[in-house]
Structure 1
Amino acid sequence: MSGKQIFIFGAGYSGKAFARASKDADATIFGTTRSLEKFETLRQAGIMPLRFDGALTPEIGEALKTTTHLVVSVAPEEAGDPVLNAARQTITAEMPSLRWIAYLSTVGVYGDHSGGWVDETAECRPVSKRSVMRVAAEQDWLKLGEDIGRPVAILRLSGIYGPGRNALVNLENGTARRLVKPGQVFNRIHCDDIAGALRHLLEGSRGGIFNVTDDLPAPPQDVVAYAAELMGIEPPPEIPFETAQLSPMARSFYGENKRVASAAIKAAGYRFRFPDYRSALDHMWASGDWRDGEARSPMNGRDRSVARGVI
């Protein structure tokens, strides 16, 4: 990534993982957060922090002028995509060095497929309002790319986990639950593979739609049981989904059941470091980095963060 300047709108868990994975490259990385208190954690990840809360600051404007690669990990709102609302004109007319754009979305755009397999060619049937807004944001970014003649990569992510955010941590802190809804499965993705997929697509300036997800959609209770086995402890008891106390958003995740394939990113030449949750948990347990969420560091907060309760 020699000589590149990368700008990350929404440098949360995934953005920090990407920045850490890029420390060996000759790249300057800027990243935004809404909270000044998070500046230091961004610096530790190799990111030059800037504050973005829906409006461009002069500092952001200056950084964008020399940005070569733009990564967007900010959730859409009812008024539209916050980054496009604030920066569309800047991206269109004031970023002459821009070569490539990535937008981090979610597999939630596919909606419910009754447990069937979907890939990038599948119809989007979003159920929740947040997923409907995601589909609209994806289309807006793809249209912008067409308008300015730049490739746009849409990365549809499944439930994100990694150091500091995983079943091992949940078991240790007593928050792990084994909710059982017959036939329900979820896909997952380790943050290192989000970082790896981003780097791979960036290096090739590849545009298009890419599912970034593991190869083993599985019931969430199985993941907790596997983590408990690694730790040598008894897993928590199974709880029928019907009687579980869940927030409306968490419950909505169980209203969508599908198995997601990552055909396009593999066709583009990317090979997953952790193709399933077992290999990832094995690695984290053996290396001891499973607790360390910030030192290595899922998703930008809002809609995807809820997945932590179901992965």
Structure 2
Amino acid sequence: MEQRHLGRTGLRVSRIGLGTLTWGRSADGPDEAEAAAQLKTFWNAGGTLVDTADVYGGGEAEYLLGQLIGSVVPRRDLVIATKAGGVADPDRRFDASRGHLLSALDDSLSRLDTDYVDLWQVHAFDPWTPLEETLQALDIAVSSGRARYAGVSNFSGWQLAKAATWQLAAPGVRTRLASTQMEYSLLQRGVEREVVPAALDLGLSLLPSSPLGRGVLTGKYRSGTPADSRGASEALAAFVDPYLDEAASRIVDAVATAAHGLAVTPLHVALAWVRDRPGVAAPIVGARTSAQLGQALSVEALSLPEEIRQALDDVSAPVHRYPDQDWSTL
């Protein structure tokens, strides 16, 4: 699998990442044997980037991954990315204070059974904590060797620009941000308004989450909700439902048409589209089974023809009006 640099750093990652959002969920995620099969399939395909978080499965996703590192795949062959900052508190969903983040990192390292993570990410912007305090935790993590590189997740455009610029203001003292992880797909292009331009200007890579539109872009929901899908799951139905509207249906139909013309699956078309967008390093793909993951990884050989890419751009184009529109058209 092709390797790409993460932002303006020396870290290289596979251009498809393995996601573990559902790992550790007893009802909806893979058991240890299936997780091992997925990790082995990913590694055999040349994949390196494995993304997780301290809150996935209440910590069980990290723990499960930690059990497999070394026994299934050598640690040196993986780029392990995790996140911190999420909390199980309905009044405060995120805590990006220095104390919480560094404590969470130590807990993650224990669950992952490793001395360091390759990429440590702040899971979301915390309006209750000064941003410079949050970013200092990244500096401490890197300077102490517990993390090799740092990034953020779910930051808006202005939040990302402020954070990245703050870090660049003291080169050699503060840790340059390498990446931002955001939901990005043909069904969710909102990041193109401010996040993508900020990332490109400041030298960060995008790690798109839910690149298949929470599974909807595979076409599995065109005739209803399959019983074995996330949309039929009590825990994840609300996650899928926003993308089952008429607007999404038009985009899914266009993806299916393109797939038919290329003799590939809608999954391949949707994944290739986001993989090759400007600034993208690696879409993060989750799967229920190793067979599903293998199908996604076979996108490696596909590059969309320009006319198909443009048609998909057009049918899924978000509406960006003032101040984002081209002033020459006013």
- TM-score for both structures, normalised by structure 1: 0.36
- TM-score for both structures, normalised by structure 2: 0.35
More strand by share: 1
